[in-house]
Amino acid sequence: MFLDMKLDKDTPVYIQIKDYIKDMILSGMLRQNEKLPSTRELSSILNVSRNTVVYAYEFLQDEGFIYMKKGTGAFVSDINISFEEEWNIDWNTRINDYGKNAESLDIVKHEVEWKKGMISFKSIAPDERLFDVDEFKRAFLNRVSIEGDKILNYGYAKGYRPLIQYLLKYMKNKGIQIDGKDLLITNGFTEGFDLVLSCLTEKGDSIICENPTHNTAIKIMRLHGLKIKGIDLSRDGIDLNKLKEELTKEEFKLSYFIPSYHNPTALVMSAEKRVELYRILKSHNIPIIEDGFNEELRYSGTHVSPIAALSGKGNSVVYIGSFSKILFPGIRVGWILADKKLIDYLESIKRSRNIHTSFLDQAIFCEYLQGGNFEKYIKKARKVYKEKYEFALECAKKYIPCKEIMGEGGLHIFIKLEGVEARKVLEKCCERGVIFTPGDIFYIDGRGDDTLRLGFSRVDMEEIEKGFKIIGEVVKLLRI
Amino acid sequence: MFLDMKLDKDTPVYIQIKDYIKDMILSGMLRQNEKLPSTRELSSILNVSRNTVVYAYEFLQDEGFIYMKKGTGAFVSDINISFEEEWNIDWNTRINDYGKNAESLDIVKHEVEWKKGMISFKSIAPDERLFDVDEFKRAFLNRVSIEGDKILNYGYAKGYRPLIQYLLKYMKNKGIQIDGKDLLITNGFTEGFDLVLSCLTEKGDSIICENPTHNTAIKIMRLHGLKIKGIDLSRDGIDLNKLKEELTKEEFKLSYFIPSYHNPTALVMSAEKRVELYRILKSHNIPIIEDGFNEELRYSGTHVSPIAALSGKGNSVVYIGSFSKILFPGIRVGWILADKKLIDYLESIKRSRNIHTSFLDQAIFCEYLQGGNFEKYIKKARKVYKEKYEFALECAKKYIPCKEIMGEGGLHIFIKLEGVEARKVLEKCCERGVIFTPGDIFYIDGRGDDTLRLGFSRVDMEEIEKGFKIIGEVVKLLRI
């Protein structure tokens, strides 16, 4: 004993000694009332300072593993360890339908995995090489020096007040009237959407949305047991005639739309269509959940107001926002802007789920935003992504034979092939080191097997060209 | 226009100009194709540098609000703003039962609020004045300089790998065998418990636990529609005979216990009782959810192993851990240690709820822990809290006439009054500037109206004495 102890460099030595002895006690190698080596002995065995051993023994005493006898030394406490008969539960039989569905709808677990050296068009996360980490660091140091202790303690479910204020103003700058509305900070869009459905729907309710649509939204709607009706898209957004038709057939509790650089098609719903859509849903009194996805990533054309701006003081649109596709998704900060009364309920649900979103992250992010860093960053990011977007579009036209290429901005394009299955293309491409997202996962009704989404945000120009070429070659090969 | 613009000091000037013009456009004060002042004019009106105005105009152009005509100047774009008829929804009629329950069970909204100058014994959050913010800062700077860009981008649902490794070892050091088990990082205990119930229970299922118990746990169980059976406590934990009796009467899906410094009673379940409890639940094959609450805050006595340690390689205990009652609750980092298969399902649910817990927070916290800071901190915190605990106990005995005082460690004590209602005491105390948590909110069956919880972690010694005196005086007054 003790002689076999190997010290590593990464952990303080007193912790290693403490953990080693604990381990000996817990495993029964050191028994109740057994005497430990004196601090002098152990320090010489381990070739460490005596103080280090004294410190380790103090911790062991603090934690109730050993006791000291004056003038005699350290002894192992009666730690009451008892090994009971092993008891195993077959967890597979205990998981409910919700748990099973969550697992089977979890595409991260079931789609092809990226392997080193591959060119991946799967991601639509921002390119972290664009992040201005130094500004973020500065924001951290500023905020922490002002109120480090406070933001590391419990905060409020609704969010960090200065961030709420900042975002309310941000939303106002999009033309949204904020009187009578309020804002809840969430762990990204995903939590925002989940909270809204948790508060407003029951199993078996119907919801209407675009088809195809954001895969995570489909997953969450399915997990809430909703019946999903998807409406086809044309180049300027949802097909309004089909929408009207469906609305007469069935009662819908809610509607969900991604008007800007839609996921997966990257199409933009025109201003006229937004108005029309608003009027139609108003006439049926079906609240709109507007996904603010990618709104910041317009590269050309005039400003188009979010649907939430159309209603003035009206409260019928629930806007869910997030910067995660642009900036710092790792900190998971998003928001819901909605009617005050609704936010009040959502706040209670949020509190029951996880108390609040990290106050540290909210405070740093707020400091970062208030300093004007977001504006500077988005200017830079837009430039880089615009270039990539245009290049990707060009390469797609040049190399990938297809029926249609969609995409007017954002971080991805969407391709409709002709007479070829995207999953077969993926299989062959995968062998050649290129992967992408097959489009069928965005469809509600099992269609889309001839579509694919190509995310280019984290891929270099050179690799975009190389990767698209390979995809094109495979498509040609399979068409014959 | 422009002359009424007031510049503040906190926001960069170009942003203020941009926002002001946006506002004018969105509100219709500036109309389509209207010419903006030249950059030279505006810089002179506002008395700012011309470059600042140029920069602001660039942003407005980027965002599609204005367009430039060469040699002529800047003009307002056709931003397609349309104000539709106001459309209001009566959200109160749209909230489902879950949302309504979440609101009505939200004690933060319905219990007495702290007002400036009050002495509050409501909180059992750690005292932020103890946090070693400098070490935290160092951990941030280290980690961010190594992989700042990566930890600010998307991470993995299961958690930040080095933190998972650290916590697995930490759990091993409590005597828990980790083979065949895995660990999921959650947004604190609250999310951990909610995820486990989401995965394993259905509405109407029964769950058995201590009575009284953690109020947030009661809230979450109720929100899941569970039937809760609470078992009375004696001084060394749950009444095992009552437990056995209840187990024969009904089928239970799960059991939930807080063996260490239990909330709200601060009692510790004895080592013998833990073994007995384990055996009883094993014989009924009812999985145990063990809440690791406050385990780190033992001030005396020998180490008592968590229930999760009893089973060796067995997989029947789900351990939910959190440092939030000790350290940095604001960052919301907790964990679930459980069977690998179960964690696999929980991971998918976690991903569907909020993708993952902040990777920034996980990475900083991990760096902080690995440096041995937790050990140093807990040594200091234990000393301070122990002193406060002993003093609070002493003051309670001295000043508050009661039937029973409970509490063997942690950050609170629990008091059973005699013939006086705690809420009446609270009402009177509130008038005198002292508040606490009435004990009834911890009871499942409406009892406990003669109990109260006194949290002392964030109250100074002087105020503990002053506050307890007042409580004692009110109790005496009401007893007569």
Residue A81, min C-alpha distance to chain B (Å): 7
- Whether residue B355 sits in one domain with residue B211: yes
Q: If you measure CA to CA, which chain A residue comes closest to B145?
A: A133
Local confidence pLDDT in tens for the 480 residues of chain A: 788 888 888 889 999 999 999 999 988 889 999 999 999 999 999 999 999 999 999 999 988 899 999 889 999 998 767 778 899 999 999 999 999 999 999 999 999 889 999 999 999 999 999 999 999 999 999 999 999 999 999 999 999 999 999 999 999 999 999 999 999 999 999 999 999 999 999 999 999 999 999 999 999 999 999 999 999 998 888 999 999 999 999 999 999 999 999 999 999 999 999 999 999 999 999 999 999 998 888 888 888 889 999 988 999 999 999 988 889 999 999 999 999 999 999 999 999 999 999 999 999 999 999 999 999 999 999 999 999 999 999 999 999 999 999 999 899 999 999 999 999 999 999 999 999 999 999 999 999 999 999 999 999 999 999 999 999 999 999 987
pLDDT of residue A107: 95
Residue B348 in contact with partner chain A when CB distance is under 8 A? yes
Residue B50 located in a structural domain: yes
C-alpha distance from residue B431 to each of A91, A221, B112, B114 (Å): 52, 48, 11, 12
List the structure tokens of A238. Answer: 């949802």
pLDDT of residue A65: 93
Strands B288-291 and B254-257: parallel
Domain end among B371, B404, B428? B371
From chain B, pick out residues whose CB is under 8 angstroms from the CB of A140: 137, 140, 144
Residue A51 located in a structural domain: yes
Residue A173 located in a structural domain: yes
Helices A50-62, A39-46: inter-axial angle, 10-degree rounding: 120
Strands A451-455 and B404-406: unpaired
Residue A420 located in a structural domain: yes
Residue A93 located in a structural domain: no
pLDDT tens readout for residues B191-242: 999 999 999 999 999 999 999 999 999 999 999 999 999 999 988 889 999 9
Question: Using CB atoms and an 8 Å cut-off, which of residues 156-215 of chain A contact chain B?
Answer: 157, 169, 172-173, 175, 186-188, 190-191, 194, 198-202
pLDDT of residue B202: 97
Residue B294, min C-alpha distance to chain A (Å): 13
**3-state SS of chain B: helix, strand, coil percent to 5?**
45, 15, 40
Q: Is the pLDDT of residue B1 over 80?
A: no
- Whether residue A191 sits in one domain with residue A114: no
Candidates B351, B364, B366, B379, partner chain A, best to mutate (most A CBs within 10 A): B351
Q: Are A332 and B357 a contacting pair at CB < 8 A?
A: yes
Are the beta carbons of A360 and A152 closer than 8 angstroms? yes
- Whether residue A304 sits in one domain with residue A238: yes
Residue B478, min C-alpha distance to chain A (Å): 34
Q: If you measure CA to CA, which chain B residue comes closest to A215?
A: B352
- Whether residue B385 sits in one domain with residue B329: no
- Whether residue B110 sits in one domain with residue B49: no
CATH of the domain at A468: 3.90.1150.10
**3-state SS of chain A: helix, strand, coil percent to 5?**
45, 15, 40
- Whether residue A250 sits in one domain with residue A221: yes
Candidates A91, A120, A328, partner chain B, best to mutate (most B CBs within 10 A): A91
CATH of the domain at B27: 1.10.10.10
Are the beta carbons of B424 and B109 closer than 8 angstroms? no
pLDDT of residue A298: 83
Q: Is the pLDDT of residue B83 over 90?
A: no
From chain B, pick out residues whose CB is under 8 angstroms from the CB of A187: 187, 353-355, 357-358
Domain end among B371, B387, B407? B371
- Whether residue A475 sits in one domain with residue A388: yes
- Whether residue B165 sits in one domain with residue B220: yes
pLDDT tens readout for residues A277-310: 999 999 999 999 999 998 888 888 888 889 999 9
Residue B62 located in a structural domain: yes
Mapped to the 3 state alphabet, what secondary structure does A55-111 carry? HHHHHHHHCCCEEEECCCEEEECCCCCCCCCCCCCCHHHCCCHHHHHHHHCCHHHHC
Residue A478, min C-alpha distance to chain B (Å): 34
Give the residues across from B291 on adjacent strands.
B320
- Whether residue A266 sits in one domain with residue A155: yes
- Whether residue B305 sits in one domain with residue B425: no
- What ipTM does this complex have? 0.96
Q: How many domains are there within chain B?
A: 3
- Whether residue B474 sits in one domain with residue B451: yes
Nearest to B337 by CA among B192, B150, B127: B192
From chain A, pick out residues whose CB is under 8 angstroms from the CB of B12: 371-372, 375
Choose the closest CB to A91 out of B67, B305, B341: B341
Residue with tokens 């491409």: A429
Residue A447, min C-alpha distance to chain B (Å): 23
Domain end among A321, A346, A371? A371
A65: containing domain:
13-76
Residue A391 located in a structural domain: yes
Question: Using CB atoms and an 8 Å cut-off, which of residues 375-404 of chain B contact chain A?
Answer: 375, 379, 382
pLDDT band at B7 (very low <50, low <70, confident <90, very high): confident
| Average pLDDT of chain B, as a whole number | 94
Choose the closest CB to B330 out of A152, A313, A314: A152
Choose the closest CB to A84 out of B11, B136, B310: B310
Q: Is the pLDDT of residue B80 over 80?
A: no
pLDDT tens readout for residues B435-464: 999 999 999 999 999 999 999 999 999 999
Q: Are A353 and B353 a contacting pair at CB < 8 A?
A: yes
CATH of the domain at A303: 3.40.640.10
Residue B410, min C-alpha distance to chain A (Å): 14
Residue A88 located in a structural domain: no
Are the beta carbons of A60 and A22 closer than 8 angstroms? yes
pLDDT tens readout for residues B338-371: 999 999 999 999 999 999 999 999 999 999 999 9
pLDDT of residue B434: 98
- Whether residue B210 sits in one domain with residue B353: yes
